[in-house]
Amino acid sequence: WPRSGGIRGGAAMDLFGDLRRMNKRQLYYQVLNFAMIVSSALMIWKGLIVVTGSESPIVVVLSGSMEPAFHRGDLLFLTNFHDDPIRAGEIVVFKVEGRDIPIVHRVIKVHEKGNGNIKFLTKGDNNEVDDRGLYKEGQNWLEKKDVVGRARGFLPYVGMVTIIMNDYPKFKYALLAVMGAYVLLKRES
């Protein structure tokens, strides 16, 4: 009689049985196949960085501070061409010293000096006050060097998978394990 949890245990035994039944050549082939998938994804990411000029060409909106323009979980596509001037009304993604996660907010004021130096102020559409409280201490304006990218398009709610994986790390590791096992055990017909 199977005990409680017997189904999960059986699935794990099948996984290890499949691995044992593979000869070394099949196992090496599957590992190389997995490595090709990972390296292809990295090459695509690096290619997007070069094409868009942004160190992070795709980001997920993590909060509701930009509603109704963007909602939590929306996937944003960014560009960051340095010769494009920053204008009021534009949505930028910026990093502030001391914070790990970039922020997606709208530019509300721009100060342009004669020498081409630009400083600007941001605010979330759904926030009551500007972002000066988010900037590093003593900083009242952002500069172009703080910008990671500018929003050029989005896909609604596609990034919810990322939010779920960040909120529930065990789910992330389980999903990665299942995907890795699938790639390793998938046999060519």
Please give the positions annotated as active site: 65, 105, 131
- Closest by alpha carbon to 75, among 149, 133, 186? 149
Q: Which residues pair with 106 in a beta bridge?
A: 91, 123
Helix (H) or strand (E) holding 163: helix 160-167
Helix (H) or strand (E) holding 121: strand 118-123
Number of helices and strands in the chain (H, E): 4, 7
DSSP for residue 98: T
- Region of residue 29 (left: phi > 0; alpha: psi -120 to 50; beta: else): alpha
DSSP for residue 7: H
